[in-house]
Structure formats: C-alpha cells, structure tokens
Chains A and B, each alone.
Chain A
Amino acid sequence: MRDNTLKYLLVLPAILVVFATAVWPLIQSFRFSLFQGRLTRPGFPQGFLGFENYVWALTEEPAFWNSVAVTAVYTVLTVGLTVALALGLALLLVPGGRFRMSVQTLLILPFAMSPALIGVSFRFMFNPEFGLFDAFFGLVIPPLADISWLSDPVLAFAVCVMADVWGWIPFLTLVLIGGLAAIPRDTIEAAQVDGASGWQVFRDVTIPQLLPVLAVVIILKSIFSLKTFDQIYMLTNGGPGTATQTLSHYVYFNGLKYGQLGYSAAVAWLMVIPMIFLTYAYAKLVFRRTQQ
C-alpha cells in the first residue's frame, strides 16, 4: 500500500466521527432553519419557508433583540472585567516569590468547577433568606440586607456577570502569567534605565509585547461569553422575565420548551455569524504565532 493511501485511511475514522457529530448536525440544523419545524405538530418538519424564520427573528421578535442586547452587554462586561482583573493578578504573580506556586494552584480551583455548578452555588449564595452574600451585606451594609438579588433585573444580571468573571479569572490569569513571563526581562530593564516610570514601562513595553497573547485571550473569552448557557440556566434561568436571557438560552427556550425547532435553528445560525468572525481571528492569530 502506498504511504499516501495509508495516511488517508488512518485519518478516515476521525473524519467520519467529526462528520457524524459536527458536520451532519450542522447541516441538519441549517435544513430545519428553512422549514416550519414545530415539534408540537404532526409531520416534522412541516412546510418549507425559505429564510422566513430568519426574517421573522430579525423583524418581528422583540424577544430576539432583547437576548441579542443581553448577550452583547454580558459579553462586553465579562470579557472586559475578566481580562482586566486577570491581567492585574498576573502582574502581581509574575515576579514570583514564595507563595506564587501555592497561589497558582489555588487559582486552578474555580476553573475546575463546572459552570452549571457555579450557577447553582451562586444561586444559593444570593438566596435572600440563607445566602452567604445576603448575610455578608446585611452585616457590612445593613440597608442592603434582605435584598432579593435574583429577582431584580439589574442585580440578577450583575450576579450572572460576577459568577462568570469569578469562574474565568483563574484560567486567564494563568495564560497571562505565561505571556508576561515570555517578555524578555532586559527590554523592561532597558526602559527603566531609559527613564520610564513603572506605568510607562507597562504602557510602552509590557503591553505592546503582551498584545498577541492578550488578543488570543480576549477572542477566546468572547467566544465563551457569547455562547454562555449552562451557568445562566442554573443561576437565573434567563429571569427575572427575560432580563438575563442570553441568545443560547433563547434558542433553548424556543426550541426545546416551545417546540419551535425551525425558528430556534434559524436563531442559532444567526449566532454563528459573530462566532465565525471570532474563530477566524483566533485561528489567524494562533497560526501566525506558531509560524513565527
């Protein structure tokens, strides 16, 4: 057997598995998005609609635009806060010192928790009757006692953001520690001797050299924020009302709760658009770095 034939034979099983578990469902969901596909009616999918499901979402559904807005604000806030805080932590940890290894090990713990579990535990902690946060705020700032965090639209949204930031900081910190450690020390020392203050060294030398890693981190976190589902589902289930209903949650609700499979497939495909841009940017950055 020629080496080439063997080569393709060896990767064939992997290609088949990817096709069966990723490509085929994608094609199917795209097909559904073009039909009226109601699970509650007989004969699924029912009638061919072309792009009517898409047009409907974009023009006739305020709930769709609500979840677009929720997802956008949620993504901007979680990405911004996580990256900023992780960068701060990484800068504190990168000089090393006696406790660095233990802190780094502790940092892994939140990341090791499943998002659904984080959702459940935050829901407990914000419970107005026996929650940890309620007790804490009651003790420190008495006027804030007995606030029902999760039934206020703004506060519930804030809690979702907080839980996500808490869960993601550790991983991003570790990645940024790696990025910071790779910056040649003498460029930083050269800047110090050249006359730069701590802030100027950070602005002129550290950040520009960290930029490739920072870009990867921001894109990666954006992808994860855009597709957030499990944590929201366990923490607020999109509520109160639709105040924390992200796009993924909206897709789930319409597809599996209301049985509008065709419509929710269309919305899912709309979500794919920003994802493709981000994935493309991510792949480009990563491959450029490995080529260098």
Chain B
Amino acid sequence: MARILLKNITKRWGDFVAVDRQSLDIKDREFLVLLGPSGCGKTTTMRMIAGLEEPTAGEVWIGDRMVNDDLPKDRDVAMVFQNYGLYPHMSVFNNIAYPLKIRKSVPRSRIPELVNEAAERVELVPFLHRRPRELSGGQRQRVALARAIVREPQAFLMDEPLSNLDAKLRVTMRAELKHLSHELQITTVYVTHDQIEAMTLADRIGVMNEGKIRQLGTPDEIYNDPANIFVADFIGSPSMNLISGRVEGHQFVTVDRHELTRTAMGAMSQAVLGVRAEDIHVVAAGSGDVDGQVYAAENTGENVVLTLQLGGQRITCKEDRYIRFSIGETVGLKFDSNKNYLFDPSTGDRVRSPGN
C-alpha cells in the first residue's frame, strides 16, 4: 500500500506529446480514476506508473521510492489489462499463481491456499482447472482480477478492465470492483473512458484531455462544479447544454437575443452558458423563461430526452418519462438560476463571480 506521486512526467514520441508535464499525487488507499477520450494520455500515464513505458521527462514515485529506473517487476504493482493478458497455455489456477511463483514472496506450500482465497473472492473456484479460452469474457476478467489480488501489491493499476464486457455484465462487474476495492483498501489507479464507471468507482477523478489533467476532484465536484468547458461537456449524459451568448445585467442573452436565465456574473461581452439537461424544466408555453419548439423527443424508458429548437440553438432537457410531446409543439422552458455555469469562450475556463 502506498502513495503514488508523479512529478512533471512527460511522454513524447517524436513530435507527438502523449502526456504533457503532468503532476499527480495519489494518496495511500485512494481509488483514483483517470477519465478521458481515447488518445488523451490516460493509459500512457498508467503505463508509466507500471514501468511499461519510460517517461521522456519527470519522476514517478511509488511509496518513498523513485522508480524511474526500476523494471516493471521491481515496482510491486499489479495490473489488470484491457484484454485481460491471461496466459493462454496455463490453467486458471496457474494464471493466478504465477505472480506468487515468480516472486517467491511466499513459501511454495502456501500458494494453493492463497490462490483459492483469491478465486473465492471473485467466485472462480469451480473454474480453476480450466484454460482461459474455455471461459466467458466476464470469467476471464475475474481471472485477471484474481491474479492481481492474489498478492498484496503496493498498488493496483487497471486499464479499462470492463470495456470488453457486454453492457449488462459491465454493471455487475462494476459493483464487484467497488466492493472489492472497499475490502482490500489498496491504492488503485483506474483508467476508463466511461464516465459512469468513473463516477461510481472513484474517490477522485482526473479528467484528462490532450495529455493533461483538466480537472482533478471528487465525482461530486467534477459533476457539479466543472472547471472548464471540456469537463462540463465530457461528463454527463446527455452532455451539458453549452449555449453561446453574453451576460447583460445578471441576465444571460443568447446570440439570437433570447433571454434565458439570471446569472451570478453581472456582465460579460462573450460567454458560454452551461446547463445540465436535468436542470431545465418544460412548462406550458408562455409561462417559462423562454419558449421553444420540440425538435425531437426520445423516450429512453427511464425518462424522455427532449431536444428543443431555440432560434439557432438546440437545447436538450430530461423530463419525466410519462410526459409525451409531439414534434413542432411549442413549450416553455424554465431554468434553475442556481444551477448554471458560465465559461469564457476564449479560454474555455469557468468564470466565477467573486465570492462564489
């Protein structure tokens, strides 16, 4: 168990910068998720912690050791790979036992007991004598997990471990992972592009884009207090409405001169208003802040996602699943003036009023 510290690590391949002078302090026993679109550098960051990739510059610390020059085998971390990385020629038992055998950290006689214990945790005991190819995707994933938890490493590194599973299994395995991490209390770095995984599993999330962490915070902070347009746009489904316009006398006005809602800031000549779909309410035409026409209504089962045309803008909002709309219908929109965010379109950064 250990703290992991990254000091200004950079990874470059030729002209391409995968990770750009990134620092990160992962606390002991913390579950940290690196979240971002593909190519944002999250996997590269993790591989530099594992030692599978050498940083071009910067330092990687695990515990109180600088591990830049250590081989992966000497870093004492356990990794779960996206494609599981199981040894196809070994039985499930031998797959799980391999790190124990190779490290000789426990006496040989204890190996069966430890393997059984790990297999029990992930409900694999009946499959110990099978080969990986005789298992389903979810079972293979559990073998990979068992191989990681069979010893007590300094940290777990998980590289999109659920992305190859089907949607239903992913939800079950997510809960199992959450339970497991709660039981084991070992520092974990988890890479994913799935925001639900990030939100549900993380103690803290680092949202990455173009080689840098754009915001680091608890799931709550990331969702409710986004620091910039990228994070606001990336988190949430449907993604946050980002509406261009300006602020005049604490009032947000769209480029088509629709007055939408009151804002904390007094005046901005150029602004982007961010509002989550669930913070806009549909009311009868004429009784809200502004009127719009229904462009599309999608019933997802748990609710209705409504796309509204408002001049040149489209706005999405989430409504109760029992309400039905017809296309072209005019409805009123009511904004919650406490739940909106203003961004500076030139920098993409959040604009906060003094004292807020």
Contact = CB atoms under 8 A, between A and B. Distances in A.
Interface string B69-96: 0011101011101111111110000000
A187 interface: yes
Contacts of B102: 191, 194-196, 200, 204
A204 B103 CA distance: 14
Interface string A235-257: 00000000000000000000000
A184 interface: yes
Q: Pick from A189, A195, A200, A204 the residue with the most CB of B within 10 Å.
A: A195
B147 interface: yes
Nearest to B50: A193
Contacts of A193: 50-52, 72-73, 75, 77-79, 157
Contacts of B73: 192-197
Nearest to B98: A194
Interface residues of A, number: 18
Interface string A195-235: 11100100011001101000000000000000000000000
A197 B147 CA distance: 18
Contacts of B87: 187, 190-191, 204-205, 208
A205 B88 CA distance: 9
A186 interface: yes
B103 A190 contact: no
A187 B133 CA distance: 14
A184 B99 contact: no
A184 B85 contact: yes
Nearest to B144: A190
A186 B81 contact: yes
B99 A186 contact: no
B279 to A, nearest CB: 42
A192 B89 contact: no
B89 A208 contact: yes
A189 B85 contact: yes
A187 to B, nearest CB: 5
A101 B78 CA distance: 35
A202 to B, nearest CB: 13
Contacts of A194: 73, 78, 98-99, 102-103, 147
Contacts of A200: 102
Q: Pick from B51, B77, B98 the residue with the most CB of A within 10 Å.
A: B98
Nearest to B94: A204
Interface in B125-150: 147
Given A187-B86, A191-B87, A195-B73, A204 B52 contact: no
A209 B98 CA distance: 16
Interface of A: 184, 186-187, 189-197, 200, 204-205, 208-209, 211
5 contacts: A186-B83, A187-B86, A192-B73, A193-B157, A194-B99
Given A187-B85, A192-B73, 4 more contacts: A189-B52, A193-B77, A194-B98, A197-B71
